Amino acid sequence: MGKLHQMIERNSIVLVLMITIVASIGGIIEIAPLFTIQNTVEKVEGMRVYTPLELAGRDIYVREGCYACHSQMIRKLKTDVDRYGHYSLAAESMYDRPFQWGSKRTGPDLARIGGRRSDEWHVRHLKEPRKVVKGSLMPGYAFLADTDIDPQRIALSIKALQWAGDPYTDEMVKEAAKDAIRQASPDMDDAESIKERYGEKVQIRDFDGNPARVTEMDAMVAYLQMLGTLVDTKALRAAVKAQRQAAESKPAGKAKEVAAR
């Protein structure tokens, strides 16, 4: 050991090369196969890209650092599943750039918060958390309700995401700025046209209780209300069960085949 190492430590270039090689191995073996092993991200029904308004909400979620207190990852543990619902699937964050799984639960997990609260509750809670939940540690975000969204920026975002590989169609890109407004303006004539692009499940309504404006609060609540609602986990569980049963009956079948031969 001594002799060999004396060589390394006398030559800075060798040292640099050695470090580079030794330090690269772990990352390559752990990250590269995540792109090639097929079932890393399961195929599930219902996943779709974010609508422009939801994406705007997500950007605000990132901007405000909500992930510092909230996880969006229900672990494969009984306690997590009992409290927050079906464990999170890799597919459910397949359009998340960056991911928002978080590492701290100062507040509860939000992976499946969609539909569990009313819009009105969200708005009030975001404005003054301690007025609604005694003992909450959450900061107030009343300013969201005073700030309009920037449709032009959202359109640029959607375009960038399409470039990065998310399955936004050209029509989605073209309509992005308007779709952002449409989703929070049910009274607009062509509001429903979003559904043609993003599917029937898209929630179209004024989220912040202020129909006159499309604010960051609209975007944030639209985002929160769709979290965890895309994949039907009940159907999924049934499918998994069926698959397992099929798999369990198979080996026996195979054995028979072999025996027959």
**Tokens matching residue 162:** 């399409």
**CB-count burial class (<10 Å; 0-12, 13-18, 19+) for 146:** exposed
Residue 208 corresponds to which amino acid?
A: D
State yes or no: residue 228 binds ligand HEC (CB under 6 A): no
Displacement of CA 259 from its chain's centroid (Å): 48
DSSP 3-57: HHHHHHHH-HHHHHHHHHHHHHHHHHHHHHHHHHSGGGS---TT--PPPHHHHHH
Residue 172 corresponds to which amino acid?
A: M
Could you tell me which of 102, 129, 92 has the C-alpha nearest to residue 226? 92
- How many chain residues touch ligand HEM (CB under 6 A)? 4
CA distances (Å), origin 32, targets 29, 36, 40, 56, 163 = 6, 7, 12, 31, 21
State yes or no: residue 139 binds another protein (CB under 8 A): yes
State yes or no: residue 179 binds Ca ion (CB under 5 A): no
CA–CA gap between residue 16 and residue 39 (Å, rounded): 37
Displacement of CA 210 from its chain's centroid (Å): 27
CB 252 within 8 A of CB 84: no
State yes or no: residue 108 binds ligand HEC (CB under 6 A): yes
CA distances (Å), origin 82, targets 105, 129, 247 = 16, 25, 27
Which of ligand HEM, another protein, ligand HEC, none sits in contact with 259, Cβ below 5 to 8 A by type? none
State yes or no: residue 162 binds Ca ion (CB under 5 A): no
Which of another protein, Ca ion, ligand HEC, none sits in contact with 224, Cβ below 5 to 8 A by type? ligand HEC
CB 52 within 8 A of CB 64: no
Which of another protein, ligand HEM, Ca ion, none sits in contact with 218, Cβ below 5 to 8 A by type? Ca ion
For residue 95, the minimal CB distance to ligand HEC (Å) is 18
Contact window for ligand HEM (CB under 6 A) among 16-24, 74-82, 100-108, 160-168:
100-108
CA–CA gap between residue 168 and residue 237 (Å, rounded): 28
Q: Which of 157, 208, 224, 230 binds Ca ion (CB under 5 A)?
A: 208
Q: Which of 48, 124, 195, 213 binds another protein (CB under 8 A)?
A: 124
Which of ligand HEM, Ca ion, ligand HEC, none sits in contact with 103, Cβ below 5 to 8 A by type? ligand HEM
For residue 194, the minimal CB distance to ligand HEM (Å) is 37
Q: Which of 50, 95, 141, 198 binds ligand HEC (CB under 6 A)?
A: 141
Q: Which of 7, 16, 32, 68 binds ligand HEM (CB under 6 A)?
A: 68
Which of ligand HEM, Ca ion, ligand HEC, none sits in contact with 108, Cβ below 5 to 8 A by type? ligand HEC
State yes or no: residue 102 binds ligand HEC (CB under 6 A): no
Contacts of 26 (CB under 8 A, 6+ apart): none
Residues that bind ligand HEM (CB under 6 A): 68, 103-104, 106
Residues that bind ligand HEC (CB under 6 A): 61, 64, 66, 68-70, 106-108, 110, 113, 117-118, 121, 129, 133, 136-139, 141, 220, 224
